Amino acid sequence: MPGRRSSGVHRHLRVPPRGSRLAVAGGVLFALIIVVAIFAPELAPDNPVGGALSLTLQPPAWMHGGSAAHLLGTDELGRDELSRLIFGARVSVSVGVGAALVASVVGVPLGLVSGYLGGRFDAAVGVVLNIFLAFPFLLLALLAAAVVGPGASNTLLILGIAGWPVYTRVVRAEVLSIREHLYVEIARTMGFSRLRVLARHVFPSVWPTFVVLSSLQVGQMILSESFLSFLGLGVQPPQPSWGNMLADGQNLIYSQWWLTVFPGAAILLTVLSVNLMADGLRRRIAPQLDATGSPQGGRLRSSRPSKAAATGRTQSSTAG
């Protein structure tokens, strides 16, 4: 590990200014969205759940018939769209970040242990992983949501528990190569317990991968939450979430386009900002992952050395 990043090849891989500027922009935008989510009660101009029936379906302020009191118009119950969007950020951010964390709490230890121990345990984990990877994640979440019941905290837990395989797969692949490194072998020879070697020597090397993967997963989880809420199995009205606002807007798409466009744009911008940030992080600290967070492959020049490393890794793991 030491000296790896300062070697000649990697200096060429240094993030081009263009890419890193985008990543910073993404990070700043996501930070802003988090701030909006935290201070929603202070920022929202109006009550997100209480509307006036005299004010239903007002267009945005710049359109004919709009008013400055409701910048982005009102929905079919006369609730202020902007306030609902602001409160919707709370749901998206908390469920997105929370679910990614829960998934990592389940998935990372499993990947660490399975990759490090190898043998039968690892083979069993591999079989289970394959099954879960064949089971579309969102459908599993859909099933679980139907059984457990809707609501923001249920959605968070369901997405988190259903989301473990991604972490296990990536961490396991990473550990398979790390455990062959000399420093891990030395730690083992010195008689440290398995737990200590894993926690103190292996895990720190997985850390960059973990950070990148988690940030990519936050984006995925935000999309998943809005997916469930859109289908009526996630966050329930009247609590505003971008997904259930979109479902409301869908019925009025012929006359009130803004009720469809704004919540969707909020989801897109949020996920885009997270993804840009995650991609920038990836290129800087975990270039062996590809853009979707999978090990192996990679981009442009980095793809060749990492491919070589990947094949070397599988060989050494079958030999060991």
Partner 1 sequence: MIRYVLRHILQMVVTVWGVVTITFLVLRITGNPVDALLSPNATAQQRRQLIRELGLDQSVFVQYGRFLEQVVQGQFGRSIIAGTPVAHTVFAELRPSLELVGLTLAASAVLGVAGGVLAAVRAGGWVDRAIATVMVIAQAMPSYWFALLLILVFAVHLAVLPATGMQGASSIVLPCATLTFALLPYVLRITRSSMLEVLGSDFIRFHRAKGLPARSILFRHALRSSLAPVVAMLGLQTGLLMSGMVVVEQIFGRAGVGSLLVSSILSRDYPVVQAAVLAIAVIVVLANLLADLAIALLDPRVRLGGASS
Of the candidate residues 276, 277, 286, 289, the single one contacting partner 1 (CB under 8 A): 276
- List CB contacts of 317: < 8 A, sequence separation 6 or more: 118, 176, 177, 180
Residue 52 binds partner 1, judged by CB under 8 A: no
CA 287 to CA 282: how far, in whole Å?
6
With CB under 8 A as the contact rule, the residue among 91, 142, 159, 171 that binds partner 1 is 142
What is the smallest separation between the CB atom of 71 and partner 1, expressed in angstroms?
21
Location of structure tokens 């064949």: 134
16 CB contacts (<8 Å, ≥6 apart)?
none
Give the residue with the Cβ less far from partner 1, 55 or 213. 213
Q: Does 300 bind partner 1 (CB under 8 A)?
A: yes
Opening angle at CA 104, ends 103 and 106, nearest 5: 70
Alpha-carbon span 215 to 103, nearest angstrom: 12
For partner 1, the binding residues in 65-104 under the rule CB under 8 A are none
Question: Which of residues 261, 284, 285, 305 is near partner 1 by CB under 8 A?
Answer: 261
* CA distance readout (Å), 208 to 4, 51, 114, 170, 212: 14, 46, 19, 12, 6
Contact in structure between 312 and 318 (CB atoms under 8 Å): no
Closer residue to partner 1 (CB): 115 or 201: 115
Q: Minimum CB separation from partner 1 for residue 187, in Å? A: 28
Of the candidate spans 43-51, 111-119, 183-191, 292-300, the one that interacts with partner 1 by CB under 8 A turns out to be 292-300
By the rule CB under 8 A, 134 interacts with partner 1: yes
Site for partner 1 in 197-256 (CB under 8 A): 219, 223, 226-227, 230-233, 246, 249-250, 253-254
319 binds partner 1 (CB under 8 A): no
Q: How far is CA 128 from the centre of its chain?
A: 22
């369901």: which residue's tokens?
Answer: 158
For partner 1, the closer of residues 112 and 142 by Cβ is: 142
Specify the residue, 14 or 299, whose C-beta has the smaller distance to partner 1: 299
Q: Which residues pair with 74 in a beta bridge?
A: 80
Q: What number of residues does the chain have?
A: 320
Q: Which of 28, 69, 139, 186 binds partner 1 (CB under 8 A)?
A: 139
Choice from 45, 136, 204, 312 touching partner 1 (CB under 8 A): 136
Residue 108 token pair: 């990372």
**Smaller CB distance to partner 1: residue 38 or 148?**
148
Environment class of 49 (CB within 10 Å of its CB; exposed 0-12, middle 13-18, buried 19+): middle
| Residue 127 makes contact with partner 1 by CB under 8 A | yes
Of the candidates 306, 281, 253, 247, the residue with the CA atom closest to the CA atom of residue 88? 247
State the CB neighbour count (10 A cutoff) for residue 147: 8
Choice from 41, 135, 207, 238 touching partner 1 (CB under 8 A): 135
Binding site for partner 1 (CB under 8 A): 127-128, 130-140, 142-144, 146-148, 219, 223, 226-227, 230-233, 246, 249-250, 253-254, 257, 260-261, 263-264, 267-268, 271-272, 275-276, 279, 290-292, 297-300, 303-304, 307, 314
